[in-house]
Amino acid sequence: MAISISTPLIHSLPLSQQSGCSVWLKMESSQPTGSFKLRSAAHICRYYASQNAKAFVSSSGGNAGIAVAHSGRKLGVPVTVVVPETTSARARQLIEQEGARLVVHGKVWSEANDYALSLATDEIFYIHPFDNPLLWEGISTIVDEVINEGVRPDAVILSVGGGSLLSGLAQGLEKHQLSHIPVYAVETYGTDSLNASLNAGRLVRLDSVSGIATTLAASQVCENAFKVACRGNVTSLLVSDEEATSACRRFLDDHRVLTEPACGVSLSLLYDRKIRFSPTDNVLVIVCGGASVTVESLLG
């Protein structure tokens, strides 16, 4: 039984013309839950179900919790998702719609996560939203699908929250001997935990996170993402909330697809011409999606 799906790989004529290269969009927004998180959640939940898990408990700012709830429903395993007070009403609704038990605890994700950990037992398996090798393994299949479509990227653009997408893509690129290509890892100024760690030369935790890209709001990236980002081919970049939301609106016009600001941060690199590529480059953009985004949320 499939839980996550193989998503479309689309050549973007508008973004290619805008950027002067060939831009390829990996449409993770097409996953049944609306984000790439379903790849990681489906992979780890299926594995834990095979280890006789009686229930799952997870923490999330939105997308991961929805993905775990969906995976548990498909596998017939009960799920509890703990979210912080900052999680949107729409995300909470979608978690409950999947049949999961929703618990709101703490002002920030780290407090919700601590509570989720306290609920785990030998039979109730805890699922981290971004820091587990099984999650990264599930996400690495994105690269498999791109290669199977006959596209070998010369660069990758992706968003960074907790770091599972960066970790998974790095694993997939290594599998296909593409570890050398440039990777552009993008955050907003208010959620710049990876950028701050790179500037400090060590893994650091932000005192606070802020802004519209709430699903990027991990105060600290996972250690593996930091190690990946320390390689010479990874460039950390920051964009504003306004640039992220503007990119989402332009992408909606160009491709008739609604994405959240956490995805718009990546798209804004191309829309605002923040980096330059050669005409022969194939640039892969992970359209990571946004399970709970609404048109109204982008109009502020």
pLDDT in tens, 261-292: 989 999 999 999 999 999 999 999 999 987 77
- The total of structural domains in the chain comes to 2
Mark whether 163 and 63 lie in a shared domain.
no
> What letter does residue 100 receive in the DSSP assignment?
P
Q: Rounded to an integer, what is the distance from CA 272 to the centroid of its chain?
A: 21
Query: Which residue from 140, 168, 145, 169 is spatially nearest to 156, judged by alpha carbons?
Result: 169
CA distance 2 to 117: 28
pTM: 0.94
Q: Is residue 178 part of a domain?
A: yes
CA distance 62 to 215: 6
Stretch 68-89: mean pLDDT, rounded? 95
The length of the chain in residues reads: 300
Mark whether 241 and 111 lie in a shared domain.
no
Give the pLDDT confidence score for residue 300 in this predicted structure. Answer: 59
Is residue 9 within 8 A of residue 24, CB to CB? The reply is: yes
Q: Where does a domain end: 115, 130, 145?
A: 130
Mark whether 158 and 284 lie in a shared domain.
yes
Mark whether 139 and 116 lie in a shared domain.
no
Q: Is residue 169 part of a domain?
A: yes
Mark whether 139 and 284 lie in a shared domain.
yes
Give the mean pLDDT of the chain: 93
Per the structure, the complete domain to which residue 158 belongs is given by 9-36+134-298
CA distance 265 to 248: 9
Stretch 220-230: mean pLDDT, rounded? 94
CATH code of the domain containing 165: 3.40.50.1100
Mark whether 138 and 214 lie in a shared domain.
yes
Mark whether 148 and 219 lie in a shared domain.
yes
At residue 207, does pLDDT exceed 80? yes
Q: Is residue 219 part of a domain?
A: yes
Is residue 24 within 8 A of residue 283, CB to CB? The reply is: yes
For 7-37, what is each residue's pLDDT tens digit?
999 999 999 999 999 999 999 999 999 999 9
Mark whether 76 and 149 lie in a shared domain.
no
Q: Is residue 4 part of a domain?
A: no
The dihedral of CA 147, 150, 154, 158: what is its sign? negative
